[in-house]
Amino acid sequence: MKVLVGCEFSGIVREAFRRRGHDAWSCDLLPAEDGSKFHFMCDIFTVIGLGWDAAILHPPCTKIALCGNKHYGRNKPRYEERREAMRWTSTLWQEAKKRIPRVGLENPKNVMRALMGKRTQAIQPYMFGHMEKKETWLWLHNLPPLVPTNNVVFEMMKLPKNKRERIFHMAPSESRGQDRSRIYAGIAEAMAEQWGSLK
C-alpha cells in the first residue's frame, strides 16, 4: 500500500506503516525529525495527487483546537486566524477524499464540525497502551474505526492527575507545540496494523 502521512515531521506513523512493508511517506513543512529519506519537506497540496492508496492526515491543531478558544475563539483578536485554519483544514480533508481512496484525519477536540461534519470516532491514548488521557478525534473516509488494542484505563486512573494528563500540564518551552502534537506510538501501530491490512 502506498501511504501518505500528511503534516507529520516525527515519522511515527510513517515508520509504523513501513515496518509492515508499506511504501509510506511523510510530508511536512519541517524536516523529518528522524532524518528519513521517505519524507517530503513541502506543502502537502503539492504531493496529495501522487497516486496514494491511503492518507493519514495530522493537520496543525493550535488554532482549531477547543483548548485554544481563549486565544482564537469568537470575539478574540486572533479569531480570523482560526477561520483561516478551519478553511485550510477543511480544504485538505475534501481534496484528500477526492484524490485518495482511503483517508483518516486525526486531531484533538476541535471546532471543525461546522465544515467537516461530526467526527467518526473519539479515541484516547489509554485505549492503546499509554497511561495518559488526551481525547483525539478521527474523521474517516472508507476506513473503519480503530479497535482498541490495550486498554489501560484502570491502571492509568491510579496515577496523579498531572501524570495521566501529561500533555495538558506540559511546561512551556520552545518545543512545546511540537511535543504536544506528537501522536502516540500505540495509536500509530494500531493504524498501521488495522488499516494497513485492508484489501
C-alpha 89, offset from chain centre: 12
Confidence of residue 176 (pLDDT cuts 50, 70, 90): very low
Q: Tell me the residue type at 144.
A: P
Q: Which of 186, 92, 89, 85 is nearest to 134 (CA)?
A: 186
Rg value, the chain, Cα: 16
Cα 110 from Cα 32, distance rounded (Å)? 26
Confidence of residue 166 (pLDDT cuts 50, 70, 90): confident
Q: What is the mean pLDDT of residues 164-179?
A: 60
Cell 511523510, residue located: 26
Q: What is the mean pLDDT of residues 41-55?
A: 98
Q: How much is the pLDDT for 74? A: 87
Confidence of residue 199 (pLDDT cuts 50, 70, 90): confident
Render pLDDT for 63-91 as a digit per residue (tens, 0 to 9). 999 988 888 988 888 999 999 999 999 99
Q: How much is the pLDDT for 163? A: 82
Q: Is the pTM of this model over 0.85?
A: yes
Widest Cα–Cα separation across the chain: 49
Residue 2: pLDDT over 90: yes
Q: What range does the domain containing 158 cover?
A: 2-195
The CATH code of the domain that includes 149 is 3.40.50.150
Q: How far is CA 88 from CA 1, 151, 175, in A?
A: 27, 34, 23
Count of structural domains, the chain: 1
Residue 164: pLDDT over 70: yes
Query: How does DSSP classify residue 170?
Result: P
